[in-house]
């Protein structure tokens, strides 16, 4: 019996990893389309569509209402509020992922192409690792910091060259988006040690409703927008802000963080490819070259040693954080 049980257990593990990988790929594909879809929603300076402030508040408000319904249904008719000790981390996560990143992205995409934004925001995984090392007081190696510095230099150089020899205001908005996402992800990861990952993003959105819902109503567009713009808004609301996180977190839980997180390296390229048919943007060698360089630096940087801090989590906490649905993001 034991001889039969071992292969069965191995097959079950392999099947779980395969499902996790598939969910991870789905999440990355959903997130990759965020760039062109946001550009579609806000338009450009020559043909503006929905106001960036409305897109920022509206996507979070509608996703927050959906999250409220999800928490109510999964809570069998009542809301199980998170402990008050997690509210600060939830607020930081909301400031980064609900306000900072969407607003920075929407403002930038009024001025620069989606491909430009895809390359600059490709540094987000490494930026998140930098913030985690600083906030969690981890002892990062010299190689890690060298990769971080090189990644920043590549992004600044690309922005400088693609901006005609100067940095533009959109690059500052993209820098805000990258920094906001990094801090938001680290705060969300701390919450995910105590809540299921799906609950984490839902509570981030629900607790933001007192801000996002009035802001959506106050910034409601006064001028008509195209059907394509509303379609882009619907996508970033339903998929980028909500369902994409469900797929991504499920993938991390079932396939393992180390395996599945590497799929994120393909996100800038998927965003570049998506911008061609959706927006008609040309795929230029400079953009592809810098995208490759950024991904390579992120790939190497994520493999550089980072020692845990002296106040490392206890074994019991680590076991809780790595269990299905409660892993760090």
Residue appearing with tokens 């988006």? 177
Residue 47: count of CB within 10 angstroms of its CB: 8
Give the separation between CA 95 and CA 76, rounded to whole angstroms: 29
Q: What is the pLDDT of residue 211?
A: 95
Token code pair at residue 39: 């550009």
Q: What is the pLDDT of residue 320?
A: 36
Residue 240: count of CB within 10 angstroms of its CB: 23
Q: pLDDT tens for the chain, 329 residues: list them.
A: 555 454 555 566 778 878 888 888 898 899 999 999 999 999 998 899 999 999 999 999 999 999 999 999 988 678 889 999 999 999 999 999 999 999 999 999 999 999 999 988 988 888 888 888 888 777 778 888 888 888 888 888 988 888 777 788 999 999 999 999 989 988 887 888 888 878 989 999 999 999 999 999 999 999 999 999 999 999 999 999 999 988 887 887 777 665 676 777 788 888 999 999 999 999 889 888 998 998 888 888 877 876 665 544 443 343 333 333 333 33
pTM of the model: 0.81
Q: What is the pLDDT of residue 314?
A: 42
Give the separation between CA 147 and CA 62, rounded to whole angstroms: 38
Q: What is the pLDDT of residue 41?
A: 97
Give the separation between CA 129 and CA 111, rounded to whole angstroms: 28
- β-partners of residue 306 are 140
Give the separation between CA 32 and CA 328, rounded to whole angstroms: 21
3-state secondary structure 111-151: CCCHHHHHHHHHHHHHHHHHHHHHHCCCEECHHHHHHHHHH
At 77 the three-state DSSP class reads coil
The gap from C-alpha 82 to its chain's centroid, in whole angstroms, comes to 22
Q: What is the pLDDT of residue 297?
A: 87
- β-partners of residue 139 are 307
Q: What is the pLDDT of residue 52?
A: 96
The gap from C-alpha 191 to its chain's centroid, in whole angstroms, comes to 16
Q: Which residue ranges make up each domain of the chain?
A: 34-322
Give the separation between CA 85 and CA 153, rounded to whole angstroms: 38
Residue 265 and residue 299 in contact, taking contact as beta carbons nearer than 8 Å: yes
């Amino acid at each position: 019996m034991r001889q039969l049980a071992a292969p069965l257990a191995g097959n079950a593990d392999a099947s779980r990893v395969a499902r996790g990988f598939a969910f991870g790929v789905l999440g990355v594909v959903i997130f990759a389309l965020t760039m062109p879809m946001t550009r579609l929603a806000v338009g450009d300076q020559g043909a503006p569509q929905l106001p960036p402030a409305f897109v920022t508040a509206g996507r979070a408000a509608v996703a927050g209402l959906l999250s409220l319904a999800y928490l109510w249904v999964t809570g069998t008719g009542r809301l199980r509020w998170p402990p008050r000790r997690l509210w600060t981390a939830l607020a930081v996560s909301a400031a980064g992922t609900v306000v900072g990143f969407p607003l920075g992205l929407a403002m930038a995409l009024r001025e620069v192409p989606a491909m430009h934004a895809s390359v600059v925001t490709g540094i987000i995984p490494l930026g998140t690792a930098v913030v985690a090392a600083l906030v969690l007081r981890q002892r990062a190696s010299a190689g890690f910091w060298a990769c971080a510095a090189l990644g920043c230099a590549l992004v600044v150089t690309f922005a400088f060259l693609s901006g005609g020899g100067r940095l533009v205001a959109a690059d500052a908005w993209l820098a805000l988006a990258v920094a906001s996402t990094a801090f938001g992800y680290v705060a969300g990861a701390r919450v995910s040690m105590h809540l299921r990952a799906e609950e984490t993003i839902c509570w981030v959105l629900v607790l933001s409703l007192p801000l996002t819902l009035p802001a959506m109503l106050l910034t409601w567009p006064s001028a008509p927008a195209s059907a394509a713009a509303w379609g882009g808004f619907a996508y970033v609301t339903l998929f980028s802000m909500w369902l994409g996180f469900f797929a991504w977190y499920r993938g991390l839980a079932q396939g393992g963080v180390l395996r599945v997180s590497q799929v994120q390296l393909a996100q800038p390229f998927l965003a570049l490819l998506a911008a061609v048919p959706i927006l008609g943007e040309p795929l230029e060698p400079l953009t592809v070259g810098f995208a490759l360089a950024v991904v390579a630096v992120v790939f190497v940087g994520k493999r550089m040693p980072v020692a845990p801090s002296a106040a490392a989590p206890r074994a019991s906490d680590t076991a809780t954080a790595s269990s299905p649905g409660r892993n760090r993001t």
